[in-house]
């Protein structure tokens, strides 16, 4: 169960609350009347000792004090507050706090209570999982969080709630194993989310995918006992501000063995249920947009399959004819994500889109280049569009590092017998993948986001947690909301 967000104009007396204090604070504001002299002195002593999180137990209720970090930009200050929310949640759990009030007394130009609430809520996420022990299914102790003050509105809190639900949906999808979420089940979950949020869904089955001659998606699926799907999600509200739709394309490989070019080591396959994180992110974004009724026409495309070495599995050396008509020589069946994305990117042209973004756990090269700390981006979008994406990335701290797509990189994906190959070279692997996709992203401005590093974490990392993170849901929601 997620935390309920609420708003209150004033702080009730004797309520358990957290107060945000300015960087370098040495004493409490005089406006805090609910503190006796001894408690006020205790907090002052803790502030003098440079404590960042202070707890005062009044027995009937608790007060927490979080000192805002001094950072170079407002975006970094907000991120530090989100991380403080993660630290605070551990204390709230220990104190078994069920309801918390949040008040920003930091004097910061932007009310930071929303950032703290966001950090707490994201940290409180737990994947329901499949444990049979009843204790493991207990809901988080904190169930209600109320932001105090006029600087934050009820509408802003409800918008944050909608975005968080989109992130949690993406995380749930990513964390589900293959035997609970094959390509067909994935498509059905996307449709269920659409019914709940209010966006339209169409699922193309194997027959329709064959009729469209989506050679990349069909080839990757050949070794699987399960059929592929191609899901089209559309949020088109009345009064949409854009004449042409924005299109999001998400990689939906529900499990990746590497195909006949098996993953090099067994443990490199362990977490490959997360290879549909791009598709999960697209679902989360559409869900959040629809829940919050953002006036923007947005379409999501998710080609989905698993990649296995069984049966009639496609093989290195095969030549595929893609949906666009281009031919591709397969040099490695573990470079499958770009094949299914290529068909979807070519399909996107039919919508005459304003802008297209694809999201994928595409290359280990991207993860090795910048780790879990950021997202690799490249594309044909102009500087204004890329700058807007980067600005959103900084705002939500899902930061973007732009890689080049210079003409010379086209040499990496040349083939002797086909229009291009699917592998590239050992060097600049993330760019080779982007250069491959560029051949299919024709007729519209496009950006490719490689989320291989941050999409799935094997160890906890502050409010991103462990497992699926839902990376790029908050980023793309912020970007698209600002386009509207």
pLDDT tens digits, 209-218: 999 999 999 9
- Mean pLDDT throughout 151-159? 95
User: In this predicted structure, which of 266-275, 320-329, 351-360 has the lowest mean pLDDT?
Assistant: 266-275
Residues annotated as catalytic are 263, 338
Question: What pLDDT score does 248 carry?
Answer: 99
Question: What pLDDT score does 1 carry?
Answer: 60
Question: What pLDDT score does 33 carry?
Answer: 66
pLDDT in tens, 393-422: 999 999 999 999 999 999 999 999 999 999
For the chain, list the domains and their CATH numbers: 4-152 (3.40.220.10), 161-483 (3.40.630.10)
With cut-offs at 50, 70 and 90, classify the pLDDT of residue 267: confident
pLDDT in tens, 167-207: 999 999 999 999 999 999 999 999 999 999 999 999 999 99
pLDDT in tens, 6-38: 999 999 998 999 999 999 999 888 777 668 888
For residue 73, pLDDT beyond 60: yes
Question: What pLDDT score does 138 carry?
Answer: 56
Question: What pLDDT score does 134 carry?
Answer: 60
SS (H, E, C) the chain: CCCEEEEECCCCCCCCEEEEECCCCCCCCCCCCCCCHHHHHHHHHHHHCCCCEEEEECCCCEEEEEECCCCCCHHHHHHHHHHHHHHHHHHHHHCCCCEEEEEECCCCCCCCHHHHHHHHHHHHCCCCCCCCCHHHHCCCCCCEEEEECCCCCHHHHHHHHHHHHHHHHHHHHHHCCCCCCCHHHHHHHHHHHHHHHCCEEEEECHHHHHHHCCHHHHHHHCCCCCCCEEEEEEECCCCCCCCCCEEEEECEEEEECCCCCCCCCHHHCCCHHHHHHHHHHHHHHHHHHHHCCCCCCEEEEEEEEEECCCCCCCCCCCEEECCCCCEEECCCCCCCHHHHHHHHHHHHHHHCCCEEEEEECCCHHHHHHHHHHCEEEEECCCHHHHHHHHHHHHHHCCCEEECCCCHHHHHHHCCCCCCEECCCCCCCHHHHHHHHHHCCCCCCCEEEEECCCCCEECCCCHHHCCEECCCCHHHHHHHHHHHC
Is pTM beyond 0.95 here?
Answer: yes
């Amino acid at each position: 169960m997620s935390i309920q967000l609420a708003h209150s104009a004033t702080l009730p007396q004797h309520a358990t609350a957290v107060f945000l204090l300015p960087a370098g604070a040495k004493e409490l504001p005089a406006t805090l009347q609910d503190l006796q002299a001894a408690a006020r002195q205790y907090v002052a002593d803790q502030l003098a000792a440079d404590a960042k999180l202070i707890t005062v137990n009044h027995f009937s209720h608790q007060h927490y004090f979080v000192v805002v970090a001094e950072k170079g930009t407002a975006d970094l200050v907000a991120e530090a507050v989100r991380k403080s929310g993660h630290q605070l949640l551990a204390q709230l759990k220990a104190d078994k706090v069920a309801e918390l009030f949040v008040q920003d007394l930091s004097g910061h130009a932007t009310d930071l209570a929303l950032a703290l609430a966001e950090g707490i809520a994201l940290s409180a996420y737990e994947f329901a999982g499949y444990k049979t022990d009843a204790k493991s299914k207990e809901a988080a102790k904190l169930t209600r969080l109320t932001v105090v003050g006029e600087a934050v509105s009820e509408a802003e809190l409800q918008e944050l709630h909608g975005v968080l639900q989109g992130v949690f949906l993406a995380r749930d999808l990513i964390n589900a194993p293959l035997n609970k979420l094959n390509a067909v089940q994935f498509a059905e979950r996307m449709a269920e989310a659409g019914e709940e949020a209010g966006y339209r869904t169409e699922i193309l089955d194997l027959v329709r995918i064959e009729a469209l001659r989506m050679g990349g998606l069909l080839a990757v699926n050949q070794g699987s006992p399960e059929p592929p799907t191609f899901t089209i999600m559309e949020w088109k509200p009345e009064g949409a501000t854009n004449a042409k739709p924005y299109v999001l394309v998400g990689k939906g490989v529900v499990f990746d063995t590497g195909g006949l070019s098996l993953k090099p080591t067994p443990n490199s396959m362990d977490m490959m249920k997360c290879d549909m994180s791009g598709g999960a992110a697209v679902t989360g974004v559409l869900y959040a947009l629809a829940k919050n009724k953002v006036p923007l026409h947005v379409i999501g495309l998710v080609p989905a399959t698993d990649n296995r070495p069984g049966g009639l599995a496609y093989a290195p050396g095969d030549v595929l004819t893609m949906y666009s008509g281009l031919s591709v020589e397969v040099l490695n069946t573990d470079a499958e994500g770009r094949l299914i994305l290529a068909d979807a990117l070519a399909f996107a042209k039919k919508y005459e889109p304003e802008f297209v973004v694809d999201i994928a756990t595409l290359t280990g090269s991207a993860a090795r280049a910048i780790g879990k700390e950021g997202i690799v981006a490249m594309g044909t979008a102009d500087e204004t569009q890329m700058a807007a994406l980067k600005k959103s990335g900084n705002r939500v701290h899902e930061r973007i590092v732009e890689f080049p797509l210079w003409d010379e990189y086209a040499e990496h994906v040349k083939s002797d017998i086909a229009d291009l190959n699917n592998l590239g070279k050992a060097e600049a692997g993330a760019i080779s993948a982007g250069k491959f996709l560029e051949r299919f992203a024709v007729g519209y401005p496009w950006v490719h986001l490689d989320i291989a590093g941050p999409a799935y974490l094997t160890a906890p990392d502050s409010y991103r947690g462990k497992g699926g993170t839902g990376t790029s849901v908050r980023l793309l929601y912020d970007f698209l909301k600002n386009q509207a």
